[in-house]
Structure 1
């Protein structure tokens, strides 16, 4: 006997005036549940719960919404989302941004509880700083002049960065360097901490040092570090060419405090360190513009002999007040081939070379440099001897000195 399917009973919607209809008890409060990090199913459950207790809940943001409730979401995030919906919402200043705790307490009481500070989401106040203080977080996109307005602050931060590097605390050293770089890029002097609002790379430690300098003129931490025996010893020892932080630390624990102590202790030095000790005074003396121009002339003469039309650009640390380095960039016309030119130029200037260190800048295939197309090249660091004019002499006297020079020639 064939089975006859049962006829389904039609569902008749309840009339508007029936007892099952939802009754709004609090028409002056309209709730919107922020779904992000709450989940759709939990949001639907909370919406049914609140409607059953007489609350009005909107599924979409509208102008009638007075309370926005979120869960596990910061006020800044909710505020940013609300600002993106401004075209649909209209005036957003009258909306209360609340945590889920207000909602649960209201459900427990069966009526909306009064809004307290603990219920409100913390929203940062809009910045009142001038547009001139806005700055990119990437240092390569900022213009940093050599002569800036915050020399006292940057010198203090750089000293702390250097001391952190001596203590092998790389994270703190980088943090102080970044803070110093931000201050160098400012268009005016820092007079109060309000001038630093919204600037990147300024941590609590850096701000504390800056505040102390602005209020007292000096920082006790900077003064204590500068006068410490370890900092002074590490500063002097790492100033020797060929001596790094680890070697200087080892010598410090052995009782060596200055370069002159190396001979007293009879330390055996490698070739780089021996050359660094021999020309310690020269390499510790800042390079003048006259010396940099003289070195450029030597390199330019060597380049012009084998590559007519090439352009030499003088660069390097001689532009800064306390650097003993200089360098030259070589620009060759595109039609000129440089097959054996490098060897010829090196042989011409070899009579002035004291020491040359060659290092390969290698980018493995797995590195970010390879993926982003950063070229691999050979870096050459040369200590060059040249003439240093004596003060008060109209004609430069032949006095040999040592300079650090970076060579642009690749192999």
Structure 2
């Protein structure tokens, strides 16, 4: 007879109840272990690696054996799905999955469709590859130097304006690419639509390659040494402009001097901006103090930068004729010495024989009292006799009309 407790529960029943909880725990643990194994150790876990770069194998062999190069195909990508243990797959990166195509067996130029093979780490297999193949373009690489040609269009300007020859900042560029395409390339063209022009311009345009008959070479595998160029487009206007001479001190005027220039004018060409507001070109400056009498000078015609002389004359004749003036000789002994360095000196010159040019009606009235001479001892570390240039100063009443002819100096002994 089975034993019972006070509540009437037999011993066997108590044992069954006490065993239930451990049994349930065992079942739960077993399920957890099974789930872990299935999720981490099962060989049927899949993972997709997207955008993996497809490498190209044996490109060097292609070049050495057949003088061919891979023109395109680099940088293509594929999505790779692999199967294996989850614990392994989650540790892999894109660098561990290596899709590739082999060009080593190609012997002819052209486009080739090559199947993608995939290298994976041990323990996993390739499930799928998308796409399964890529196209590679094989050809010889050629290089050619092309002249740069400028094509101007859509330009308007005034009738008086002419366009000069457009000048690119480079005269030639280098193009490289498939030999079959390079062979047909003739020149590199830049097209510029300039609109209305009133002065010269500098513009920049994109280069494109054309054939001998002008057809555009539209090939994505061409590479230019530079894709754009700057172009200077000159604009010119022609004008006849008088030529004149100037004076250094302003003593010459219509009353005392007649100056004639031959030719009287020049036909020039320049950018309109350079000639704007120009009434004459001054081709020489006359030093009145060096013109002792009537004379004719021949000077080279030099024009401002950017101005072209279209005339046949490259030099001009300048005739100078004095009128209503005369020469006046004076012996001047009023000599002052400026000595800023405190030198010990002796003035050896007692007087200077001057030749002045003066209006005829006042020349006889001039005396040595109307003229002062000065010299400056701007020396240091020099001893002995030196010739010191003299500055001639005329009395205020005559300073605008009377001036010395030539240059003068006095002798000074500088002592130790």
| Both proteins in one fold, TM over 0.5 | no
Q: Which has the larger radius of gyration?
A: 2
Normalization by structure 1: what TM-score? 0.22
Of structures 1 and 2, the one with the larger relative CO (CA 8 A, separation 6+) is: 2
- More helix by percentage: 1
- More strand by percentage: 2
